[in-house]
Structure 1
Amino acid sequence: MTEQHRNADAYPQRIVCLTEEPTEVLYALGEEHRIVGISGFTVRPPRARKEKPKVSAFTSAKIDEILALQPDFVVGFSDIQADIARELIKAGVEVWISNHRGVDGILAYIRRLGAMVGAADKADAYARQAEQHIAQVQAAAAQFRQRPRVYFEEWDDPLITGIRWVAELVRIAGGDDVFPQMAAESLAKHRILADPGEVVRQAPDIIFGSWCGKRFRPEKVAARTGWESIPAVRDGAIHEIKSPLILQPGPAALFDGLDALHAVIAQWVERRGG
């Protein structure tokens, strides 16, 4: 056995990804051959849905089907997947549950996952590409003479505000999140707005919506009692960001998600003379 072959065998060969972001990262690194199962919510990259069996949702998983794939490594995200992780660990499977919540955490996640599969150099290059993209958007946003106040809605019933990496990306894109203190809360239950009138009082210039798992309805947002006085509602500045682009703590948010936020904010600024 060659040294190269021994080194290759030292890394996981059969990986199950319980969420989309490890799948997207591994495909981007050219390591997709290691993946034997993915989340049913995976849409990036599109070919993954055709090539890999879907064995999990977000809060549930087909444990027997996962075990039948004989994984030597399972990757998941957050405390919400603790029960899935426990069942797999009890069955003798090695499991890594990441719990990053900010932009820096996403970048570190890319590097860490790459290192775990023996692709540290490729992962570092990919993370540096993301860092360069972030810096470019940030530099463009620094030229804005005005910064809009932004309300990001992650769910509508109850109202849930955006998580930390979303608030950070809004800031990078050129806006200011109107609920920064809530964005620091990692759990959705701690980001619930008990009083929808609080959004009215914050008077955001732009409203972004990304309702995880269902289509965002701007007309429903605009029709909420008392919201007609909000600048974003009055000016028709209510925009959807597709959840796969922004609510996955992976590459999509740093590239397409950030670009989508920046495009809307730049348009708002342009309409007000820069």
Structure 2
Amino acid sequence: MSTGPRRIVCLTEEPTEVLYALGEQDRIVGISGFTVRPARARKEKPKVSAFTSAKVGEILKLHPDLVIGFSDIQADIAAELIRQGVEVWISNHRSVAGIVDYVRRLGAMVGAADMAVAYADRLQAGIDAVAAQAATLPRRPKVYFEEWDEPRISGIRWVAELVRIAGGDDIFPELAAQSLAKHRILADDAQIIARAPDIVFGSWCGKKFQPRKVAERPGWENVPAVRDGQLHEIKSPIILQPGPAALTDGLNEMARHIHAWAGSKN
């Protein structure tokens, strides 16, 4: 007999991706408008939220027995739904280990614990395989991950961890521990230039990364990444969502560029 919530609204992409991966997509009655994974979800499910806003009235019409969101940024949405009598789960996982555990917890909530454990184990095996390959690299690049360009914002914790797993060294590890984007703002470019990144990964959360604009920044002409043409986009849906996409496609894309850099330096 099926257990757990039957009518779930997902305010972000990662619960949607996980539930589809577990074969539990029939429980989903509403999704985030930013959802791109899996592609079929956009065709099958009504879009009722952005990231910082939601159509509360439309959500209530769906009669959800659980709404799933992420982080303090969705606290106001959660509070309004709670006041309307809706059960809400706001996860706040920020690390690679946290993402893997999130898969297990969400699976348990919908009565698919065994499937979720198996899926989480496969995700972890993929991570371990990338780490093992990275351990064979002859050298490790210094990596600057830019989550936003104006102002410059460096990468969040799970991104910095994935950079390390892929074979690079994040140049702002002290900022990666800060969960809020406002605490990862870089006051001026001198901080970045001084740390001389070999690779720049850009993921400008919702807009296209423009390597030319990065290369034309004043004072950046001698940054190794600019000098060597190592300015690469990692599309935000596969790295800035704390879900399976980051642990698979996002990690593999960064590893591909890092391995190419390491090979070119032999």
Structure 1 residue 134, shift from structure 2 partner: 0.4
Q: Does residue 28 in structure 1 map to residue 21 in structure 2?
A: yes
Instruction: Pick one of 253, 264, 267 that aligns with 2:260.
Output: 267
Instruction: Pick one of 199, 216, 236 that aligns with 1:223.
Output: 216
- Unpaired runs of at least 5, structure 1: none
What is the distance in 1 between the residues matched to 2:43 and 2:189? 41
Query: What SS does the corresponding residue of 1:211 show, helix, strand or coil?
Result: coil
Structure 1 residue 14, shift from structure 2 partner: 0.2
What residue is the counterpart of 2:136 in the other structure? 143
Alignment of 1:142-161 (within 5 A): 142-161=135-154
Alignment of 1:4-15 (within 5 A): 4=1, 8=2, 10-15=3-8
The superposition leaves residues 164-218 of structure 1 with CA deviations (integer Å, 9 ceiling, x where unpaired) of 0000000000000000000000000000000111111000000000000101111
Structure 1 residue 266, shift from structure 2 partner: 0.2
Residue type of the partner of 1:93?
V
Tell me which stretches of 4 or more aligned residues in structure 1 moved more than 6 Å. Answer: none
Structure 1 residue 272, shift from structure 2 partner: 1.1
Q: Does residue 108 in structure 1 map to residue 101 in structure 2?
A: yes
Alignment of 1:26-175 (within 5 A): 26-175=19-168
The superposition leaves residues 73-96 of structure 1 with CA deviations (integer Å, 9 ceiling, x where unpaired) of 000000000000001001111000
Query: What SS does the corresponding residue of 1:64 show, helix, strand or coil?
Result: helix
What residue is the counterpart of 1:248 in the other structure? 241
The superposition leaves residues 40-90 of structure 1 with CA deviations (integer Å, 9 ceiling, x where unpaired) of 000000000000000000000000000000000000000000000001001
- Unpaired runs of at least 5, structure 2: none
Query: What SS does the corresponding residue of 1:226 show, helix, strand or coil?
Result: coil
The superposition leaves residues 226-249 of structure 1 with CA deviations (integer Å, 9 ceiling, x where unpaired) of 000100000000000000000000
Structure 1 residue 145, shift from structure 2 partner: 1.2
What is the distance in 1 between the residues matched to 2:213 and 2:235? 17
Query: What SS does the corresponding residue of 1:150 show, helix, strand or coil?
Result: strand
Residue type of the partner of 1:244?
P
What residue is the counterpart of 1:258 in the other structure? 251
Query: What SS does the corresponding residue of 1:136 show, helix, strand or coil?
Result: helix
What is the distance in 1 between the residues matched to 2:17 and 2:89? 16
Number of aligned residue pairs: give it. 266
Q: Does residue 201 in structure 1 map to residue 194 in structure 2?
A: yes
